[in-house]
A and B are shown apart, each in its own frame.
Chain A
Amino acid sequence: MSDWTRRNFLKATVAALGSTATSNAFGLFFLEPVDDPLGAYPYRGWEDFYRDQFTWDSTGRTTHGINCTGSCSWKGYVKNGILFKEEQYADFPAISDQLPSYNPRGCQKGANYKEYIYGPQRVKYPLMRVGARGEGKWRRATWGEVFNAIADQMVETITHSGPDAITFFSAIPAKHHLTLAGGFRFANLIGGVVCSFYDWYCDLPPGEPMTWGVQTDSCESADWFNSDYLIMWGSNVVETRIPDAHFYTEARMKGTKIVSIHPEYNPSTIHADLHVHVTPGTDGHLALAMSHVIVLEALYDAAYLRQFTDMPMLVRNDNNKLLRESDVVAGGSDQKFYFWDNMTQQAVLAPGTLGEKPAGPQPTSGQGSWTLDLGNVDPALEGNYTVATLSGNVMVLPVFERLRDSLADYSPVAMQSVTGVQADIIAQVAREFAVAAPRARVIEGAGTNHYYHNDLINRAQMLLPALCGCVGHPGGGFDHYVGQEKLWAEEGFFEFAFPLSRARQRFQNTTLWTYIHGDVASDVDDLWPKDVGEYIVESVNNGWMPVWPKGNITYDPLSRTVNNDRSPEVLFVWGANYLNQAKGNMDVLANLYPKLKLIVDINSRMDTTALYADIVLPAASWYEQWNLSTTDLHTFVHPFTPVIPQQFDSRTDWRIWKGLARVLGRRGLIYNDTVPNGDTITRDLTTLFDDLTTGAHGENIRGDRAACQHLLDLSPETNGLTIRKRRSANSIIKHPQRFLQASRDWTSDIVDGEAYSTFRRMTENLRPLTTLVGRQQFYIDQDWFLDFGEQLPVAKGPINVDDYPLRWLTPHGRWSIHSTWRDAKFQLRLQRGRPVVYLSPPEAAQRGLADNELVEVFNGHGSFEAHLNIAPRLPDNVAMMYHGWEHYFLNNGWQTPVTIRIKPTEIVGGYGQLKFRLNYWGPTGNQRDTRVEIRRAGGNA
C-alpha cells in the first residue's frame, strides 16, 4: 500500500481492463440470462461477499484517551486478532425523555483510531536516540536498557542537583485517569515536579477563578437544550465539540434563538439565527456594550444582584478598596465585607464572605453566617454613603455604582467602531438576552479565551449573564468549553496521584516554567507600569507563583528575560505533545532543550515530542489497556478495556512506571527532601515499587484494572461503581454509568432526570462561593489590579506588538484533536492532504497569491511554509491555520510565530481566590495576539 502512486493507479486500471477483455465473460450470460434486474435476480449467492466482511470473533468496549472532551464509548470489532472496525456503543443511559440522548457520541477521528494501532506512526519498540535530537535516528533497545539509562540520569540528577530538577509533563487526567495518576504518583514519591497544562494551553478561563473561585464549572452539553437563548461566543462547537453539537442544532429546532459571535462565518455559524461578525479580540468591548444596555435600560435582575453578586459590596472612595471589617473594627477581619442596609440605614457585614467560612472542607449548603441568605437585610445597589472607620469617616459606594460609571464608556454607539458591530444589533442582542433570562446562556470557547487579556474578556462576558440573573439556573449562565480539565472524580485522583499529599507535591505552572527556562524575552513591557519580568520576580519572591527547580530568580532588563540559577535536567512527557504545542517554540528548542540532559517520551505515536526525545518508550494503544474516561460535557464514567492485546513491545503507562520504579529502586537511593509545605521527609527509593503499587488502605494496585477500581473507590462520584465485574448493574463495562453524586467542590448536585448545570448550590442551597467576598466577584481590589485599572471588567486589547498585518488565528478543527490525527492518512485524504493556511479572497488577491500555492507564514519570532487555501468564510486582516501540525509536516513548528506573553494580573497571589493552584490559577499561554505576514514561498517581497 505504501507504494501506491497515481502512476500505479493508472497502470492498475489498464491491467484490470485487459483482464476483463480476456476472461470467459460469456459463460454466465448463456447459462441464465437476467430477465429484469429490477426484482428477481438469479445470482444472489454472491451477496455473502459483503455479509462475510461484517463478521467478527469478538468485540470490546473502549474509548480514546485524547483531549477532545468527547469521552465517547466505542465498540471495537476484532477478527483474526485484528481490530478492523470501530463503532460507537451508543448506550449512554438517557437522562430524561425530555432531552435528546447522548448517543451516538463519536466523530470521524474516533472511527479511525485503527490507523494508529497498525500504522507507520506507531512506536513499536523502546528507542534510544543515536543522532542529534529531532534527526530521527534511533536504535531499538530492550526495556532493561532504557530503564537503566533513565535510572542512571535520575540518580545523577537527584544526587548532584535535586529531585526538583526532574520534571513531569502530562495533560488532562480526565481523558485517561490511570495514565496521569500513575506518572504523578511516581513523581510524588521521588519529589519530582508536576507541571500544569490547563493554563499553559490557555484553556483555563482566568475569569472563572477570579469571579467564581472555581477552576471551571460548566454544564453538561444536554443542558444546552434547556436554553431559550444561546450566544455561541468564540465557541465553534460544530467543529470542536462534534459529539455534542447536536444539542445545539436540536435546541435551535425546538425554538432556541442562536446568536453566533465569531469574526468568521464558521461551521457553527451556518446553523445560527444571527451572525455577529465581531472584529477579532474586541469581544470584551462588545460584552461591555451589551451590559451597558442592560444597566441603562434597567433590564438587570436587582434581587439576584443583591444576593448572588458583589454588586452591593461597599467600596471606599479614598483608596478604591472594598470596605473591610478591619477598616471599621479594631482587630476585625480583612476577609469580611459590608453592604449598605436600606432597612437600617447602616453598613452591615455581609454574610457568606470568606471570613465567615467554617474551617475544613466546604459544605454543600450555606450554614450559619456563611450563607447567601440575606435575612432581613436589604442591600443597597445604588447611592453613596458615609461610614465611620478607624481612620475617620470615609465615603463609600456599592460596586454597582462603580460599575455603572465604568460602563458609561461602553455605549453601543461608542463600541460600534471598535467591534465592527452595529449599535442597534448590540442593543438588540442585549435586550433579547435579558428577556430570555434566566434561560439565556453564553457558550464561550477558545475564540475569545486565547487572547492576552483573556481574564478581562472572560469577566466582561460573565457580567452579562450575571446581570440578568442567569448564573445558577438550568439553561442559563456562562459555560466555557476549552479542554477536558474537569476531573469529576478528582478526590480519588488526588489521593491516588499524590499519596504523600498535595501539600508535599512540587507543582509548576508550565507557562512560567517554559518562559523562564526557555529564556523568553518579554515584548509587552510597554503595557504596564513596570517590566513584566519585574512582576514575575516579585510574584515568585512573594511566594505567589513557584518556579522549579528552586533557585535564585533575577530579572535582566537588557535581555528582558527572567533567569533562574538552577535548571531542569530531566523531562518526562507522556499523554501529551509538549514540544509540538509549545508557544515560544523557537526559544524552547534553542534555549530550554539544551538545558535538559534527558528527555523521555512515553507514546504510542511518533509525535514531535517523541521525535526530539532521547528515549521513546512504546505505550499501549487505547484499545490495549484498562483505564477510565470522563469529561466536562457529560456526567458519565466509562472504561477502556483491552479489546486487543498489547501490540509489538508496548506496555501500558502504569506498567512502565512500575518497571521504572523497580529499576530505580535497586539503585538504593535514600535522601532527605524539604517539600513545599516545609516538611522534611526521607525518601527511600528502595521501597519505591511497593509504595507505588500499594493503595491508600493497603490495597494491591499492581494490576491496571485493580488500579482503576481503586480510583473509582476513592471518589464519591464513582464509589459504588465497578470495573471488575462485567454484568453487575453498577458495571461501567456494561454501559457508561452516571455519577452517583457530585462532591463538595462542584457547584451543583447530580440530580436524576436533570442535566447537570452549574451554581445551583449557590442559588438553591445558598452556599457562598469560595471567592474573597463569597459571591460572584466582579470587583477585585488587589493592589496590582488597582494599579492597572482592572478592578472591574474593562476592555483592553487586542494588542498589536507584532508589527505585521494579519492576526494569526490557530483554532481547533474538525480533522484533528490537537496534533493527534493531524498526520492520519484517512483524515488527510478528506482535507487537502497537507498543511494549509487560510486567507480571505481580498487578502490573497492583494498579495497576488493563488489558491493552493506554497506560501511562507512569518513574523519576527519565526516562520514556516504551508499551502494557501483561499477562504471566503474569513474576514480580511486575519490569517488562519487549524492548529497542531507536527514539525515533520512543516519542517518546523506551527507555533514558531508565537511567543509567550505573561499578563501580570495572572501571576497575582495571596488574595482570596487568587492563589496558585495547579491548573486552577496561573498565567496562561495565550496566542491570539500574534500577528504575521504571508508571502509567496521563496520570495523576499
Chain B
Amino acid sequence: MAKIQRQVQMLFDLNKCIGCHTCTMACKTMWTDRNEGQMYQYWNNVETMPGLGYPRNWEESGATIGTCQPKNDDEAALTPLPDIEGDYGAPWEYNYGEVLKTEGGNASRSVVVPFPSPDGPDAYASNWDEDVGVGAFPNNYYFYLPRICNHCSDPPCVSACPRRSVYKREEDGVVLIDQDRCRGYRFCVQGCPYKKIYFNPVTGKSEKCIFCYPRIEQGEGNFCVTQCVGRIRWVSYRDNKASNLYKLVNNWRVALRLHPEFGTEPNTFYIPPMSPPGYLANGDLDSKGRIPVSVLARMFGDNCNQTLAQREARIEEIFDILETERAKGMDSELVRILVATTDTEQVQLT
C-alpha cells in the first residue's frame, strides 16, 4: 500500500444522474468495440436500482454488512464465474443485411431481429430491468447507479491473480490487467465482488476499466467524465485537498462508498439519491422521500465497519445537509460545488 504514491478518485452525484448512459457509450465506443469478445463488456455501465445489476445479482457476491470480511478473501470461497449466457446475456447481433439491401439486391426477410433471441423469463442484458425498481404505483421507486471499476485501495482482483498480472500503478493507483501477461484464468473476475472485470473469449484475456489512463496522464478527464452530460462526476486525486471531490467527501461528508462491506476500499463515491415523497393510504403525502433509507443503507456506507443502523444515520444526516444547503441557494458552498457552473470544477487532476 505504501508504494501507491497517489490515488485517483471519482465521485458520482446520484441526484444529478439522468440514466442517459452517455458515459456507457462514451466508454464503449472508445475501448470496447474493437472485437467480438468485447461486445458484452461495459467497463462503465448504468444500472436501475434497486435491481439485478450487471452481471445479474452481482451485489450478492460480496460480504455482509459490518463484517469487513470479503467473501472472496479466501481463494477457496471465490464466487462462481458469471455465466455469459445467463448472467450477462449474450450481445445481440442483427440480420440487417437480410432486410436492408443498401447496395442493391433482394431482401430475403422483412423483419430485423436480434440473435440469439432474448426469449423467455430468463432473458437478460446489461440494462434489462431499466426503470423498473421496486414498489407499487404510485409509491414505486428507482434510481440510477453508474459504475466503473472502483480502483480499490485493497483490490481483491490483484491478490486473486496467480500470475500476478493484475497490478495497481504507483503513480495514480489505477488498477490494470497486463494484456501481455494475462492468461485468462479469470480468478480476478471471481475475486472482484463488484464484477467489473470481463473475460474476453476472443483474446483469451480479461479486461477492465483503465480509468482512461491515456487521458489522465495528460491531465484530461476520463471519457465517462468529460462526456457526462448530466454533469454528475468529479474526478481528482485523493490528496488534492483543494479539489471539490475532496471537499464533498471529507469536508461536507455527503458522499459514501458503494458496498464498503466488501472490504476493498473503493475509490469511487456516491451522493445518495433523494426522492419525492410517496402517498399514504388516505391519499395524503408522506413526510419523507419514497426511497426507504434502509434500502439505501444496504448499498451505501462510509466503511466496512459500520452497522446498518450507522449507515442509515449517515444517510439521514446527508439528506439533512443537502436540504439545509438547498435552502441557501447559491450562497452555499456545497450548492455551488454540486451545481458546478463549469467543467473545470469537476475535472481537477492536479
Contact = CB atoms under 8 A, between A and B. Distances in A.
A559 to B, nearest CB: 31
Given A43-B180, A265-B137, A829-B125, A254 B112 contact: no
A114 interface: yes
A255 B181 contact: no
Given A16-B202, A255-B329, A270-B143, A851 B121 contact: yes
B330 interface: yes
Contacts of A833: 92, 114, 118, 125
A4 interface: yes
Interface string A389-425: 0000000000000000000000000000000001001
A833 B227 CA distance: 24
Interface stretch (B55-63, B239-247, B310-318, B336-344): B336-344
Given A16-B202, A97-B341, A124 B326 contact: no
A101 B347 CA distance: 14
A249 B343 contact: no
A832 B100 contact: no
A832 B101 contact: no
B36 interface: yes
B91 A119 contact: no
A100 to B, nearest CB: 5
A33 interface: yes
Contact of B204 (A16, A86, A242, A254): A16
Given A13-B84, A833-B118, A873-B131, A238 B18 contact: yes
B166 A100 contact: no
Interface string B103-131: 11111001111111011110101111011
B111 A891 contact: yes
Contacts of A422: 283-284
B339 A250 contact: yes
B140 A53 contact: no
B201 interface: yes
Interface in B1-60: 1-4, 15-16, 18-22, 24-26, 28-31, 33-34, 36-37, 39
B19 A814 contact: yes
Interface stretch (A23-31, A310-318, A509-517, A620-628): A23-31
Contacts, number: 365
A889 to B, nearest CB: 6
A264 B141 CA distance: 11
B226 A255 contact: no
B164 to A, nearest CB: 4
A935 to B, nearest CB: 19
A139 interface: yes
Contacts of B113: 834
A80 interface: no
Contact of B326 (A50, A254, A841): A254
A254 B104 contact: no
A103 interface: yes
A33 B126 CA distance: 37
A558 interface: no
Interface string B215-230: 1010000010011111
Contacts of A874: 137
B167 interface: yes
A843 B120 CA distance: 19
Interface string B155-176: 1001001011111111000001
Given A245-B230, A250-B16, A829-B92, A51 B214 contact: yes
Which residue, of A266, A833, A852, has the highest number of chain B Cβ atoms within 10 A? A833
B85 A6 contact: yes
A850 interface: yes
B184 A16 contact: yes
Interface in A536-591: none
Interface in A81-120: 85-88, 90, 94, 97-101, 103-109, 111-112, 114, 119-120
Interface residues on A, range: 35 or more
A38 B1 contact: yes
A834 B118 contact: yes
B347 to A, nearest CB: 10
A273 interface: yes
A932 B199 CA distance: 45
B82 interface: no
Contact of B97 (A2, A7, A124, A829): A2
Interface stretch (A129-137, A157-165, A686-694): A129-137
Contacts of A135: 107
Contacts of A606: 100-102
Contacts of B328: 255
B142 interface: yes
Contacts of A13: 84, 199, 201
B338 A873 contact: no
Interface string B228-270: 1111000000000000000000000000000000000000000
Nearest to B290: A275
Contacts of A122: 102
B296 interface: no
A12 B201 contact: yes
Contacts of A330: none
A941 interface: no
Interface in A222-247: 238-239, 242-243, 245-246
B24 A830 contact: yes
Contacts of B273: 270
A593 interface: no
Contacts of B170: 39-40
Given A25-B163, A38-B167, A272-B276, 9 more contacts: A4-B39, A54-B214, A94-B341, A107-B229, A243-B229, A249-B16, A253-B326, A422-B283, A828-B94
15 contacts: A4-B39, A15-B201, A16-B201, A38-B3, A38-B158, A39-B2, A43-B178, A43-B181, A104-B228, A125-B103, A239-B18, A249-B16, A253-B16, A264-B137, A826-B29
